[in-house]
């Protein structure tokens, strides 16, 4: 096979295996470019923040994009209002006074962000609101207002792009994640059942159980996005709760099987139970 044909085969394989990642790349790029165009058309003072917001809220699924948009805008709104009020009511003409205002504006918001992750962006917003006037020569109120405009523009564009450009529904991602977990379970059964007729070290079980545990944890995260899409009327597919609970019970069953497989079956039972277990793993029964 020629080098060109080999390269083309590898490229087609990459495009086939990385479709989700490539679609996300297109969505994020579209969000950034479209936000920049609209921001320049509207003469947004610092369109940089709008573009960054659009990139941040454009996530792998519509449900995750919706959560990122809400959290980012709520955190920005809270940080802008609080920091703007602090900067207005506390004079800070000197350098020392500016440091004091910055500390008063940031410290409570950091505490709030540690309590509620929806306000993670609030401290950064407070810093921008307090310090931006020293660069742009605007008032704190104007700085807070423009910050909300910038974030609002980026959030709206990012969410609209997530809904229209190769939209990835969390329901489909959850089904794919469940299928991958079942593949892991099928592989694990062969290894675990081999312990009943052979020797299976306890240390060999840990990587198997860890892979399945991570798969369940990933599915939990995606399921939260599925519920968010259903609550926002963005999806009408059946609820995946029963599927998730079934997979979790299967995971618990595998833990018990793994504990039992550490000790082989008695020699008198291995000839009778070994072949049926082998057929069960291979799908013969």
Tell me the H-state helices in the chain. Answer: 3-17, 19-41, 47-57, 62-89, 95-115, 122-136, 140-164, 170-197, 202-231, 241-261, 270-282
User: Pick from 164, 192, 223: which residue ends a domain?
Assistant: 164
User: Could you tell me which residues come within 8 angstroms of residue 234 by beta carbon, excluding any fewer than 6 positions away?
Assistant: 62, 63, 66, 163
Mean per-residue pLDDT of the chain: 81
**119 and 224 together in one domain:** no
Pick 160 or 134 by higher pLDDT.
160
**31 and 160 together in one domain:** yes
**84 and 204 together in one domain:** no
Both tokens of 121, joined, read 């962006």
Q: What is the pLDDT of residue 6?
A: 61
Average pLDDT over residues 126-145: 79
Q: What is the pLDDT of residue 31?
A: 93
**Percentage of residues in the chain having pLDDT higher than 70:** 84
Q: Which of 97-101, 191-195, 206-210, 245-249 has the lowest mean pLDDT?
A: 191-195
Q: What is the largest CA-CA distance in the chain?
A: 89
User: Could you tell me which residues come within 8 angstroms of residue 244 by beta carbon, excluding any fewer than 6 positions away?
Assistant: 178, 219, 220, 223
**182 and 213 together in one domain:** yes
| Banded pLDDT at 38 (limits 50, 70, 90) | very high
Counting the structural domains of the chain, the total is 2
User: Pick from 135, 164, 193: which residue ends a domain?
Assistant: 164
The reply to whether 15 falls in a domain is no
The reply to whether 52 falls in a domain is yes
| Banded pLDDT at 233 (limits 50, 70, 90) | low
Q: What's 58's DSSP letter?
A: -
Residue-wise pLDDT tens digits, 243-267: 888 888 888 888 888 777 777 777 7
User: Pick from 147, 164, 181: which residue ends a domain?
Assistant: 164
Pick 283 or 45 by higher pLDDT.
45
User: Could you tell me which residues come within 8 angstroms of residue 163 by beta carbon, excluding any fewer than 6 positions away?
Assistant: 62, 65, 234
Both tokens of 76, joined, read 């920005």
SS3 187: helix
Residue-wise pLDDT tens digits, 45-93: 888 889 999 999 888 888 888 888 888 888 999 998 998 888 888 876 7
Q: What is the pLDDT of residue 133?
A: 74
**Is the CB of residue 57 less than 8 Å from the CB of residue 159?**
yes
The reply to whether 128 falls in a domain is yes
The reply to whether 9 falls in a domain is no
Which position has the token pair 């609970």? 245
- What count of other Cβ atoms lies within 10 Å of the Cβ of residue 140? 23
Give yes or no for residue 43 having a pLDDT over 70.
Answer: yes
The reply to whether 235 falls in a domain is yes
Give yes or no for residue 102 having a pLDDT over 70.
Answer: yes
Domain range for 255: 170-282
User: Could you tell me which residues come within 8 angstroms of residue 277 by beta carbon, excluding any fewer than 6 positions away?
Assistant: 193, 196, 197
The reply to whether 10 falls in a domain is no
**152 and 176 together in one domain:** no
**Alpha-carbon span 238 to 280, nearest angstrom:** 31
**Alpha-carbon span 83 to 86, nearest angstrom:** 5
**35 and 148 together in one domain:** yes
Q: What is the pLDDT of residue 110?
A: 93
| Banded pLDDT at 10 (limits 50, 70, 90) | low
Going by C-alpha positions, the residue among 95, 78, 77, 89 that lies closest to residue 131 is: 95
């Amino acid at each position: 096979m020629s080098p060109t044909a080999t390269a083309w085969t590898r490229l087609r394989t990459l495009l086939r295996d990385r479709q989700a990642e490539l679609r996300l790349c297109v969505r994020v790029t579209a969000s950034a470019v479209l936000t920049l165009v609209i921001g320049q058309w509207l003469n947004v003072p610092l369109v940089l923040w709008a573009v960054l917001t659009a990139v941040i809220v454009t996530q792998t699924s519509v449900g995750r994009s919706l959560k990122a948009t809400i959290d980012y805008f709520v955190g920005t709104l809270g940080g802008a209002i609080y920091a703007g009020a602090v900067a207005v009511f506390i004079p800070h003409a000197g350098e020392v006074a500016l440091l004091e205002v910055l500390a008063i504006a940031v410290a409570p918001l950091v505490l709030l962000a540690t309590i509620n992750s929806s306000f993670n962006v609030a401290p950064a917003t407070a810093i921008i609101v307090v310090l931006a006037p020293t660069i742009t020569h605007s008032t704190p109120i104007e700085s807070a207002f423009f910050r909300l405009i910038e974030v609002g523009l980026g959030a709206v564009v990012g969410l609209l792009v997530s809904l229209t450009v190769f939209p990835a529904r969390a329901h489909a991602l959850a089904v794919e994640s469940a299928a991958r977990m079942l593949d892991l379970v099928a592989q694990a059964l062969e290894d675990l059942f081999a312990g009943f007729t052979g020797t299976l070290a306890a240390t060999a079980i840990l990587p198997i159980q860890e892979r399945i545990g991570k798969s369940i944890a990933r599915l939990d995260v995606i399921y939260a996005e599925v519920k968010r899409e259903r609550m926002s009327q963005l999806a009408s597919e059946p609820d995946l709760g029963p599927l998730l609970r079934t997979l979790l019970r299967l995971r618990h069953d595998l833990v018990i099987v793994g504990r039992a497989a550490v000790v082989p079956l008695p020699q008198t039972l291995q000839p009778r139970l070994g072949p049926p277990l082998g057929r069960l793993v291979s799908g013969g029964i």
